[in-house]
Amino acid sequence: MDINGHDLPLLASLRVMLDEKNITRAAVKLGISQPALSAQLARLRDVFGDQLLTPAASGKGMVLTPRGHELREPLRLALRHLEDVVSTPSAFDPQESDRTFTVGANDNATAIIGSRVVALMRRNGWSGLRLAFRGIDFAKLTEQLEIGEIDVALVSKSAVPSHLPNQPLLEEQFMMAQRADHPRGQRRPSLKEYARLDHVIVSGDGGGFRGFIDDILAEKNLTRRVCVSVQHYSVVPLLLQSTDLVCTLPLRFLSRYAATLDAFRLPFETRRFTLHATWHARFDQDPGHVWLRRQLAACAAD
């Protein structure tokens, strides 16, 4: 195949066909007619001396030949790198850029760091930039980072996908929180009292009633009653302010509610709350990406 000639567009079409395994869907995705794509497939079969895709026995879609399977991943990576070469600017100027950055983060990380980044952008007049914060589906995170659907994800150290670069942003302790006029008073809870209290838990996967705190208590032959499970940190202060429930949360999150919530040291040792930025290695040297990671780190350290 001579990529100096007219064959490079054929490789782009082949990538889509190998991914879709359906000529009709691939043609729609490429914005060309089905007959035109079928003609391209015939040309590709001649070039590679292989069928590449053959009709499925079910009559629905197509299946890849061994050669097609062999080509799929290297071709995807090669074209992705080519796209990077074409699209990556040689420099990044936040004053002139109109780039949109997407940060994967839960509401706690968005409130702690995201709010500071937004304020920094507004103070410096970087009005062309846009910043999107979105929730994280950890089952898809690696792929989303690879294709650039998410530029940077803010996650705990344990949630950083394996083999992806990451940078620690902050580390702090967990505290027990309650409403300011809680009937139990203002003293630090004992271990047994902590276990007797009614708790709220923030469950990242939604609906879970057990967390790492319960594992620590189990080692001490204790259990606690988790009455309420929520998926978002931002709901917890509202629940605590109107009930006698308590919750174990990062100190930096609780500091925003110091007027209505009291925080106490836990009656046992536990791991600290950590937050890391992670991204795909193919964006390591992207000037805009480097700039974004620096802003996140600076705002976390502030």
The pLDDT mean for the chain works out to 91
Q: Nearest 5 degrees, angle CA 155-CA 142-CA 233?
A: 30
pLDDT at residue 129 in the model:
95
pLDDT at residue 281 in the model:
93
Q: Is a pLDDT exceeding 60 seen at residue 1?
A: no
Q: Is a pLDDT exceeding 60 seen at residue 56?
A: yes
pLDDT at residue 287 in the model:
92
Q: Is a pLDDT exceeding 60 seen at residue 4?
A: no
Structure letter (DSSP) for residue 161 = P
pLDDT at residue 80 in the model:
80
Give 285's Cβ-side CA count (13 Å radius). 7
Q: Which domains does the chain have, with CATH numbers?
A: 8-87 (1.10.10.10), 100-169+275-301 (3.40.190.10), 174-271 (3.40.190.10)
Q: Is a pLDDT exceeding 70 seen at residue 42?
A: yes
pLDDT at residue 58 in the model:
84
pLDDT at residue 9 in the model:
82
Give the helix ranges, DSSP H, for 220-275.
236-241, 251-254
Q: Is a pLDDT exceeding 90 seen at residue 164?
A: yes
Percentage of residues in the chain with pLDDT exceeding 90?
74
What's the pLDDT band for 91 if we cut at 50, 70, 90?
confident
Radius of gyration of the chain from its Cα atoms, rounded to whole angstroms: 26
What single-letter amino acid sits at 286? D
**Rounded-to-integer distance, Cα 72 and Cα 289, Å:** 27
pLDDT at residue 87 in the model:
67
Structure letter (DSSP) for residue 111 = I
Percentage of residues in the chain with pLDDT exceeding 70?
95
The burial class, CB within 10 Å (0-12 / 13-18 / 19+), for 296 is: buried
Q: Is a pLDDT exceeding 70 seen at residue 132?
A: yes
